[in-house]
Structure 1
Amino acid sequence: MTTERLVLRRFRASDAPVLAAYRSIPEVARYQPWAVPFPVEKAEGAVKAYAEGSPTAAGWFQYAVEHTEDQRLIGDVGVRIHDNLLQAEIGFTFDPAYQRKGLAFEAVGSVLDRLFGKQGLRRVTGECDARNTRSAALMERLGFQREGLLRQQTFIKGEWTDDLLYGLLATEWQRADR
């Protein structure tokens, strides 16, 4: 998939060092399950698994997000298609050097266009640590509705955290004025 500034594509083996680099940044990993540093060897295994996935089959698929101007991997958008092929969960991670420029909005929006338009999904959900206000704001900007708060839901990095739940229906996406 391409947008004005991005290419969303399958991961390649050559992406592993860049994936390891941005996932090793403490602010990127703060609300994520992985520890820092994120070793290149672990990134190589992740990239291999990502490359083998299918964007239309049930299960996880991770899109590599490449900035067209500098042809650099700047983040990733993960999608877990449910077994019924009508629902999905979405997540995203971006290098801080490319945040606050509308690029995550552009990338996730493109994935949502595909999920709702081309793949015909009915509903997409997202979940984030309640302290992760930037991820929550991105989902809200994309039209997701906050559907719940799960108190002390996740034990991560030695602490219990609250999770915010978001949902977006195909009918809401189609009506949205973006």
Structure 2
Amino acid sequence: MPEITLPLRTERLVLRRFEGRDLDTFHAYHSLPETARFLPGPAKSYTKSMESVGKYANFSFDKEGDWICLAIEAADGPGLLGEVVLKWVPGRGQAEVGWTLAPEARGQGYGSEAAAAVLDLGFGELAFHRIEARLDALNTASAALCERLGMRLEARHVDKWHYKGEWATELVYAILADEWHSR
């Protein structure tokens, strides 16, 4: 796997490794129930936020199971807006993408722009064949983001996950490298 060149830059964003200065902002939005709603665990404590930021700052991407989590920042000024994740999943040339945004960054196209940059990285430099996104069917904002990226809905797994005290239906969106490059 080639070395990942960071930061990634888009028209409006810089995607970079997490740094210690991101902790308070990260915790501010990850401690909110509305942010945790569609994430596997509960809202994060300050200690859990510290652990996450430390992990995200020191990732390696060498083998299946590894993942990168990049801080999303506006190109015209510092300040954490959210994060975008790319996980190398088992199976030749397979990956998964995901994102989380701070409330004030939602609805401005930052998630789409950051995810597109990570798909460019995944299908370009990293030469993945297929990248998917897995989400709760109630997460309509993320489903719409997948569709804006040109991902197709491939599966609907009814009552697939049991988390936060209830059953959730999982949607699987995906796109292939040749589809991404020809869009």
1:41 paired residue among 26, 43, 47: 47
Question: Equivalent residues in 2 for 1:22-171 (5 A)?
Answer: 22-36=29-43, 38-55=44-61, 57-58=63-64, 59-83=66-90, 86-171=93-178
Q: Is the 8 A contact 1:123 1:169 kept in 2?
A: yes
Aligned-residue offset at 1:3:
0.9
Please tell me whether residue 16 in structure 1 is matched to residue 28 in structure 2: no
Aligned-residue offset at 1:86:
1.4
What is the aligned residue count?
175
More off after superposition, 67-76 vs 54-63 = 54-63
Give the match's secondary structure for 1:125.
strand
Give the match's secondary structure for 2:174.
strand
Runs of 4 or more off by more than 4 Å in structure 1?
Answer: none
Letter in 2 for 1:116: F
CA distance in 2 between counterparts of 1:129 and 1:33 reads 10
Aligned-residue offset at 1:133:
0.6
Give the match's secondary structure for 1:17.
helix
Percentage identity across aligned positions? 38
Alignment gaps of 5+ in structure 2:
1-7
Query: Per-residue displacement from partner, 1:37-69 (whole Å, max 9, x unpaired)?
Result: x22211111111112212454312111111223
CA distance in 2 between counterparts of 1:57 and 1:7 reads 25
CA distance in 2 between counterparts of 1:156 and 1:48 reads 25
CA distance in 1 between counterparts of 2:155 and 2:90 reads 23
Give the TM-score, by structure 2 length: 0.90
Cα RMSD (Å) of the superposition?
1.4
